[in-house]
């Protein structure tokens, strides 16, 4: 069945009309899950020396716990999205955050490093799937022209975690012990379960099936969009991973000042997620291209600013705003994934965790080759520019056309329905 843009607009308006009256608290509930996920993902890096010493292993070996979490994200996001295709999104949110809470609790109780590796892998499995489902729920509650803003507000939980959650977890880790920090994340996850149980919209079980979800993998537009994030977003991670050491070795600041710079990055990421999606809702793909070019410039400036703490703080803030590309690409995937909305949304976070591995790896190679700690800036800029080249291919292919909603090969420029039956969904409200 082919629908016109006018039909798409009417459906989006119908979806927004059926949105629950307390949209803000629904988005807050979803963002709380992002806050818990962001806290454990970034705090694990700062807690690495503490659990390495406690478990009697060296720090390079302890870094495998970080890799285990990332591997869980990359594998879990598409797998859970496919297996959960027939379940209601509210149910998926509750189950995913419950598993996330269990994984972090097991991390806190791990008797040895092997158990910790297993617990970190389990903790990473729900990461991408949760953000994917949460993004679909948020987008379904607003008109089509506000999808990027709604997704950005959900992602605020992750960025605010870099300002509040990560420093708090690090402080608790130093004052009480690293296990208490993971215990804190488990509590935050259980709080998310409670909030979603109370406020997430009650929807019907999905009509999708695993084969239909896997159909997204046949779409070249999906793969191109994922490649933009997997490569273009890697530049930010190339710099962020080695920022603490750069501050000590190049900028010559005291270690106590490092959390302030990390917070500045978090403020940039938070403001970026607040304001950039407003432009993306008017011009989605052009905004993505501008952000990639802006990130490339900020990363190129990094070596020049590294010698001055004030200039470096400004540049770190600018680099942080590039995090907003996540919400933009999430919206783009909704437009090109056809019926496979859940899988495409989850794969977006697999792509970003690929960037999380690629950026630090290439930055580390430059450092080991003797180019210095600030060489991560040009490496990151090269990744952002390569992402921009991929964006050009995607932008040229982003032409409006009638959409066959039954085919995974076509685009679907509409906010995904929260439930398959619109009449039933219109009667649903916040619990």
Q: pLDDT tens for residues 14-58? A: 443 344 447 888 999 999 999 999 899 878 877 777 888 888 887
pLDDT at residue 420, as a whole number: 39
372: pLDDT strictly greater than 70: yes
424 pLDDT tier (thresholds 50, 70, 90): very low
pLDDT at residue 211, as a whole number: 63
Nearest to 362 by CA among 345, 346, 382, 344: 382
Task: Quote the DSSP letter at residue 413.
Answer: -
* First CA to last CA distance, the chain: 34
Give the mean pLDDT of 331-339.
77
Question: Range with the lowest mean pLDDT among 61-65, 112-116, 316-320?
Answer: 61-65
What is the pTM for the complete model shown?
Answer: 0.71
332: pLDDT strictly greater than 80: yes
Nearest to 330 by CA among 320, 343, 345, 351: 345
Nearest to 339 by CA among 111, 136, 158, 180: 136
pLDDT at residue 182, as a whole number: 94
Q: What percent of the chain has pLDDT over 70?
A: 82
Residue environment code for 243-259, b if the CB has 16+ CB neighbours within 10 A, otherwise e: bbebbeeebeeeeeebb
Pick the more confident residue, 97 or 394.
97
Q: How far apart are CA 340 and CA 338, in angstroms?
A: 6
pLDDT at residue 369, as a whole number: 86
Pick the more confident residue, 232 or 209.
232
Q: How far apart are CA 334 and CA 320, in angstroms?
A: 24
Nearest to 65 by CA among 55, 75, 76: 55
pLDDT at residue 415, as a whole number: 41
**Concatenated DSSP letters of 3-50:** E-HHHHHHHHHHHHHTS-S-HHHHHHHHHHHHHHHHHHHHHHHHHHHH
153-188, pLDDT tens digit by residue?
888 888 888 888 888 887 888 788 899 999 999 999
Residue environment code for 337-353, b if the CB has 16+ CB neighbours within 10 A, otherwise e: bbbbbbbbbbbbbbbbb
Question: Range with the lowest mean pLDDT among 53-62, 293-302, 359-368?
Answer: 53-62
């Amino acid at each position: 069945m082919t629908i016109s843009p006018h039909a798409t607009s009417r459906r989006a308006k119908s979806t927004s009309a059926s949105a629950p009256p307390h949209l803000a608290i629904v988005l807050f509930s979803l963002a709380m899950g992002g806050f818990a996920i962001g806290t454990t993902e970034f705090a694990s890096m700062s807690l690495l020396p503490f659990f390495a010493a406690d478990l009697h292993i060296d720090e390079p070996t302890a870094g495998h716990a970080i890799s285990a979490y990332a591997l869980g994200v990359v594998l879990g996001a598409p797998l859970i999205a496919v297996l959960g295709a027939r379940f209601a999104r509210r149910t998926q949110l509750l189950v995913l955050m419950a598993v996330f809470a269990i994984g972090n609790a097991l991390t806190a109780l791990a008797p040895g490093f092997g158990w910790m590796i297993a617990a970190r892998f389990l903790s990473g499995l729900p990461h991408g799937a949760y953000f994917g489902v949460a993004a679909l729920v948020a987008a379904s509650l607003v008109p089509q022209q506000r999808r990027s803003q709604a997704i950005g507000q959900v992602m605020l939980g992750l960025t605010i975690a870099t300002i509040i959650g990560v420093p708090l977890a690090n402080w608790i880790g130093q004052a009480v012990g690293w296990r208490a920090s993971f215990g804190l994340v488990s509590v935050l996850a259980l709080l998310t379960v409670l909030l979603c149980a109370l406020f997430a919209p009650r929807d019907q079980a999905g009509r999708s099936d695993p084969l239909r979800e896997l159909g997204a993998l046949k779409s070249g537009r999906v793969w191109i969009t994922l490649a933009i994030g997997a490569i273009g977003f890697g530049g930010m991670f190339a710099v962020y991973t080695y920022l603490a050491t750069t501050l000590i070795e190049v900028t010559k600041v005291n270690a106590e000042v490092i959390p302030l710079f990390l917070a500045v990055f978090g403020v940039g990421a938070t403001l970026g997620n607040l304001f950039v999606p407003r432009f993306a809702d008017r011009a989605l793909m052009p905004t993505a291209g501008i952000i990639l070019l802006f990130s490339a410039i900020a990363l190129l400036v990094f070596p020049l600013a590294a010698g001055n703490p004030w200039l470096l703080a400004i540049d770190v803030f600018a680099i942080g705003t590039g995090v907003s590309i996540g919400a933009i690409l999430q919206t783009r995937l909704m437009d090109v994934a056809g019926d496979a909305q859940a899988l495409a949304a989850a794969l977006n976070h697999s792509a970003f965790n690929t960037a999380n591995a690629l950026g630090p790896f290439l930055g580390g190679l430059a450092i080991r080759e003797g180019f210095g700690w600030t060489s991560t800036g040009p490496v990151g800029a090269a990744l952002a520019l390569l992402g921009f080249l991929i964006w050009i291919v995607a932008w040229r292919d982003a032409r409006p056309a009638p959409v066959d909603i039954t085919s995974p090969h076509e685009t679907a420029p509409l906010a995904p329905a929260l439930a398959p039956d619109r009449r039933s969904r219109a009667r649903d409200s916040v619990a």
